[in-house]
Structures are given as structure tokens and as C-alpha cells.
Chains A and B, each alone.
Chain A
Amino acid sequence: MPFYVSPEQQMKDKADYARKGIARGRSVVVLQYDDGILFVADNPSRALHKISEIYDRIAFAAVGKYNEFENLRLGGVRYADINGYQYDRRDVTARGLANVYAQSLGTIFTETAKPYEVELVVAEVGDDAETDQVYRLTFDGSVADEHGYVAMGGQAEAVAQSLKDGYREGAPLAEALRTAVRALEAQDSDRRLEATSLEVAVLDRNREHRLFKRLSAARIGDLLSAADGSAGSGGAADAAEGEGSKPEPKQKPESDED
């Protein structure tokens, strides 16, 4: 009765299963801007967060199944707090945390029947853009060291393509937020995101002590209209171009579904 399934096939099935689960949700983007790291999620909930504070300079963003990434978040807070308590606050690093997550996710992926359907970003803001660290972790425990921007979850490829077109290094917060929101809108051709349907937070290197800060809907609205205003009056050329005069081509959404 029991069929033989080769290890290769087993792993492939698990990976396909996890990928499908992750692609079902909505996207999250993480990008560097001039004062730190910006996190933007297409998430209307005020209570169930996809973006969270881990420690003084470290934040966490996730897509996929809520209970699974929430469990990882809670564990990450414990990891950070216990290390900071035992040693010093400076001894808590994103690299250490990414390793703990990689170990846990890897173990779950190989040793259990159902892998976690999650994808994470662990980011630590440094003193300048060169020392910022952004790690992306996937469901099987692999870690990638990212620079500039990351898109994950939902139609991640379309979102990443839009980020690739619009992202500019060292952009101010308003411009970076506009780029991120435009990228999230690339998930569907007719999707328009209001300030109230966004979850936005920053790791701002100019703050003191705990650098993580959530932005209120009012502040998000202000920043977005500021970005639109400066683009409309002919500020940055690339921003004005993306503003509507020439809608950027969003194609090949079918290639990433298997």
C-alpha cells in the first residue's frame, strides 16, 4: 500500500506546497531609504501585524500563515531580549537572529510533514546605508543577504519588478514610500491602496534607543501626498514619469504560477 516517494520528490512537493501558500497572501516590501529602512505591507488590519519590532535596531516582516510567522516573531523577541539581558544591548544582531530563524525553518522543513508557509525579512539598521543589514529567509531555512529592496509574498515577482523600476538609492522617506506603494499596487492591475489599508513602519537611524516606529494612517497619507505633490510640480524626473503620464508596463504575471 505505501508508495515509495523519492527524497527529491518529497522535498519538491513540500517546497511547492509552501510556495503556493505564500503566494496566496498579499505582498510586503522592505526597502532602504536615506534615514534607514522602510517596511510597507498591504495589510488593512490594525491588530494583526506583518511588521514588528524585535529589538533596538532590528525589525521583522513576514508573509504567509499568520500563526506560523507570529510564532517565529515571538521566539525572535525572546532571543533578542534574553541575549540583550545576558550580555549587552549591542550584542543583539540581525545576523544572529537570522541564523536562529534559518535553523528553525530548516529543521521544520526537513523533519516535519508540513513545512511553514512563511517568508521573512529580518533587518537591522546601521549608522549609514552601507552598514544596514537586510536578510530574507524562506520556508526551507535558506538565507539571502539583500541590498536595496525586497518584495515577498503574493505576486512577489510583479512587485519586485515595479521596485526595480522605481527604486532609487538614498531616496527620502516620502519618495521611498510612494515607490513601495506603487509596487504593492502592481499586484493587481486595478488595485489602489489607501493609507488606511497599509501597514507602514520604519527603522529610523536618527531616532534614539528604540529605532522602530510605526507610522499612523494620517502620517502615511501626508507622506504620500507630499511625494505626489513634489512629483506633480516636476521634482524628480523619474518620480514624475511613474506618476501617471506613462503607466509602467506590468506584464508576465502568469509565468510565476506553476
Chain B
Amino acid sequence: MASHDSYTGRLPGLFASPDTSSFTEFLGAYSPELLPGGRTPPASRAGDDIPHGTTIVTVGFPGGVVMAGDRRATAGNVIAQRDIEKVFRADEFSAIAIAGTAGIGIEMVRLFQVELEHYEKREGRTLSVEGKANRLATMVRQNLGMAMQGLAVVPLFAGYDEERNEGRIFSYDPAGGRYEERDFHSIGSGSVFARGALKKLYRADLSAEDAALVCVQSLYDAADDDSATGGPDLTRRIFPVVASVTSDGYRRLGEDEVGALAQAVVDGRYDSPGGPTAPLR
């Protein structure tokens, strides 16, 4: 650290550099090598042998939002990790999850978490939900060069809006496009299957617990049809990560809670392997 404290003015670098409350901007001036966006993308396209995270789902309900992710990371045809975590607390009132190149995604999440907390501590207020979502868009866009070389990562962001008293969902494309989603959304390789399930299971008046159940059901459907998505592993007791964000803040559901949900979903599938059916008329 001392090497950065080149004595130019009255105070060393920590105190003197650009007057910004953005951690990323400060990092760019102070230790640019730590900034993900500053790296040169590899000259040739990366292969399949770097772990990828897969399916994330999120469901809104009155007063909040639930987000869940399966636990599998794949490298080509190999299961690279069976208990990876891809859903994180972003700050007290928001959650973030990633799909795509796991290493880059996890780094992005860490930087985003510090970014939000740094702003909050310096300014004495939290960013608006839109402000957080926009900041994340910039970070995704900075990864575009990597994305073009096959190292894409796409986050899903969900926050509790204190002014509107509701959950809000934002999805992204690898170029940094930011889209607000209504009701529910899914990303990752199993997302098409998960979305089909979400569409049939979503109701506007879900309770928080039912919203979590919808997430686990849709992840089961994703794992059913997508080889890169892991289903609930009852033998090893590895279950999806499920988190809710409400006016009480971010809460990750306990292992026993998710275990009970997963057990109920799996039990139900013995009778009807396709899961709950929607009324035809």
C-alpha cells in the first residue's frame, strides 16, 4: 500500500485522489490492475474448460422479491462444482446473481458489493434501486471485450424499492443493456425451461414462501431438461440458494427451509413428474 502513497500534496493517495464516491472509479485511479474492466481480453477465444454458472430465477411478490439459483458449475461436459453459490446479497435491500463465466462473475459481484457499500458509507445514503441497476450495467459493459472472447457473464439484479414498497427485477445483456422485468425472470442455460415453468406457476398474489416454492419448482424443471443445471441433491443435501428481499432486508433462506421446499418438490414429482399442472381452461 505504501507504494501508492506518492507524496504529492498534503495527504497521501488515499485522501487526495479524485473526489468520487464510486469505489470502481477510485480503484481505477489507485490500483488500476485490480479493475476487471481494465484488462486486455485474450487474443484467442476461450474454450469450454472454464467453469460456467448456469440457471438463476427470480419471482416478485407483493412487498418483495425472491431470487434462487441452482448449485452447478460446468466446464464443458464436466461438472466443475456441485455446490457453487451464484446468488449473493448485494446490499441490505438487494440481491444479485450471475450466469456465465463463474470467475469473472464472482469478481463482478464482489466489486459491485463494495461499490454499493462504499457509496453508502461515503454519502450517508443508499443509491436508488435504479442507481444500483445502472451502476451494474456499466460493470457488465466493461466486460464486453471478454464476452466477445467467450467469457461472457450476465447478472440478474433484484432490489426492494422502499418508495414503492415492491420488489424490482433487472436483467442485462452482455453489452450492458439493462431491462426492467415484470413479475419474474430467469437467466442462464436452463432459463428457457425455467421460464416456461415460471409462466405457468406465477400468480400476482404469491406469498413470500410460495414465491420461494415457485423458484424451486422452476429450477427443478430447468434441471430436468438442461444438463448444465443441477437439481436438488437429496443425497448430499445440496439445495438451491434461495434469498428474499423485502422491507426487512435481504434474507437467505436457511438450509432447513430450502431443504423442506426441495423435498416437497421432489416428493410431488413422484406422482406427477412434470410438476404442478396449470388449469387448461
Contact = CB atoms under 8 A, between A and B. Distances in A.
A86 B122 contact: no
A128 B23 CA distance: 32
B217 to A, nearest CB: 30
Contacts of A49: 124
Contact residues of A: prevailing secondary structure: helix
Nearest to B89: A209
Contacts of B202: none
Interface of B: 1, 7, 10-12, 14-15, 23, 26-27, 30-31, 34, 110-111, 114, 117-118, 121-122, 124
A85 B110 contact: yes
Given A47-B124, A86-B34, A112-B10, A81 B15 contact: no
A210 B111 CA distance: 17
A113 to B, nearest CB: 11
8 residue pairs, one from A and one from B, having the closest CB atoms: A75-B15, A75-B14, A77-B121, A81-B118, A85-B114, A78-B14, A81-B114, A79-B14
Interface in A44-83: 47, 49, 52-54, 71-72, 74-75, 77-79, 81-83
Contacts of B31: 82, 86
A201 to B, nearest CB: 12
Q: Which bucket holds chain A's interface residue count?
A: 20 to 34
Given A82-B31, A210-B117, 15 more contacts: A47-B124, A52-B121, A74-B122, A77-B122, A78-B15, A78-B26, A78-B118, A81-B23, A81-B114, A82-B23, A83-B1, A85-B114, A86-B34, A107-B10, A108-B10
B12 A104 contact: yes
B139 to A, nearest CB: 14
Given A71-B15, A75-B11, A104-B11, A82 B27 contact: yes
Nearest to B125: A47
Contacts of B23: 81-82, 85
A72 B12 CA distance: 11
13 contacts: A71-B11, A71-B15, A74-B122, A79-B14, A81-B118, A83-B1, A85-B23, A85-B110, A85-B114, A86-B34, A104-B12, A107-B7, A107-B12
Contacts of A82: 23, 26-27, 30-31
Contacts of A15: none
A108 B34 contact: no
Nearest to A47: B124
Contacts of B34: 85-86
Q: Which one of A52, A103, A104, A108 has the greatest number of beta carbons of chain B within 10 Å?
A: A104
A242 interface: no
Contacts of A54: 121
A85 B107 CA distance: 10
A74 B10 CA distance: 15
Contacts of A77: 118, 121-122
Contacts of A221: none
A84 interface: yes
Contacts of A86: 31, 34
Contact of A104 (B15, B27, B111): B15
A103 B10 CA distance: 12
A231 interface: no
Q: Which one of A71, A74, A78, A83 has the greatest number of beta carbons of chain B within 10 Å?
A: A78
Nearest to A104: B11
A53 B118 CA distance: 11
A5 B228 CA distance: 77
Contacts of A108: 10-11
Nearest to B111: A85
Contacts of A78: 14-15, 26, 30, 118
Contacts of A103: 12
A74 B118 CA distance: 10
B10 A100 contact: no
A78 B16 CA distance: 11
Contacts of B11: 71, 75, 104, 107-108
Contacts of A104: 11-12, 15
A71 B12 CA distance: 12
A80 to B, nearest CB: 9
